[in-house]
Chains A and B, each alone.
Chain A
Amino acid sequence: DGGITQSPKYLFRKEGQNVTLSCEQNLNHDAMYWYRQDPGQGLRLIYYSQIVNDFQKGDIAEGYSVSREKKESFPLTVTSAQKNPTAFYLCASSKRHQTSTDTQYFGPGTRLTVL
């Protein structure tokens, strides 16, 4: 099956810990994205990557880090510097980032709770 997978589905973290959320796609898409969703809100962009070994900050990058060593994978690390990390995290991918006809497709999400 082609698509985007995220793991784990649920994640619990103690304050002061770093955690890494996994995102993998087998759609052969160049661009990948991480969004954060808070209750009753729309999605906000954390980081995006247009190609391997390149990534750019989105609107709310503080306290997060990413890597893009492989085309298929774009893991997100939520560091202890992120002051309010409890949220629903969604990964997306698209064929190209810059073109106007770019359509993004989303994974099932990871729900992170800080205890």
Chain B
Amino acid sequence: GIQVEQSPPDLILQEGANSTLRCNFSDSVNNLQWFHQNPWGQLINLFYIPSGTKQNGRLSATTVATERYSLLYISSSQTTDSGVYFCAVKAGTALIFGKGTTLSVSS
């Protein structure tokens, strides 16, 4: 089945720093989503982005479907950005999740 790999596994930042999270996938996909899991476990939808670029405030995402990767950019990070960021792809009927990138932002 399709494999989803996220990097880096862990990231520690000072408040105000920028970061890039990467998601590689092993086969063509027709659906890609980025989620943020907050420290209480809630998964929050960030982007639906099977291709192209989208921006929402300090966050933006780019998916290059032909090269099978997606990037999530976080600018001017804040402590509330801490948590786990998941990439999930869908090639058929099921959403397949990567293992996530754990982000810790300190003040």
Bound pair (A, B): yes
A residues adjacent to B (C-beta < 8 A): 33, 40-45, 48, 58-59, 88, 90, 92, 97-98, 100-106, 108-109, 111
B31 touches A40 (CB 8 A): no
Q: List residues of chain B with CB within 8 A of the CB of A111.
A: 41
Asked whether any CB of chain A lies closer than 8 Å to the CB of B95, the reply is: yes
CB distance from A28 to the nearest CB of B (A): 17
B83 is an interface residue with CB less than 8 A from chain A: no
Which B residues touch A103, using CB under 8 A?
A: 33, 45, 48
Q: Is B97 an interface residue (CB 8 A)?
A: yes
Q: A42-B98, A43-B97, A100-B50 are in contact. List 18 more A-B contacts (CB 8 A).
A: A41-B99, A42-B86, A42-B100, A45-B95, A48-B94, A88-B41, A100-B90, A101-B31, A101-B48, A102-B31, A102-B90, A103-B45, A104-B95, A105-B45, A106-B44, A108-B41, A108-B42, A109-B42
Within 8 A of A (CB), among B12-64: 30-31, 33, 35, 40-45, 48, 50
Q: 10 tightest A-B contacts by CB?
A: A42-B97, A100-B30, A106-B43, A43-B97, A109-B41, A42-B99, A103-B48, A108-B42, A100-B31, A42-B98
Chain B interface helix/strand/loop/mixed: strand
Q: With a CB–CB cut-off of 8 A, which chain B residues contact A33?
A: 95
Contact A104 B33 (CB under 8 A): yes
B81-107 vs A: 1/0 string, CB under 8 Å?
Answer: 000001010100111011110000000
The residue among A45, A92, A98 with the most chain B CB atoms within 10 A of its own CB is: A45
The smallest beta-carbon distance between A77 and chain B, in angstroms, is: 21
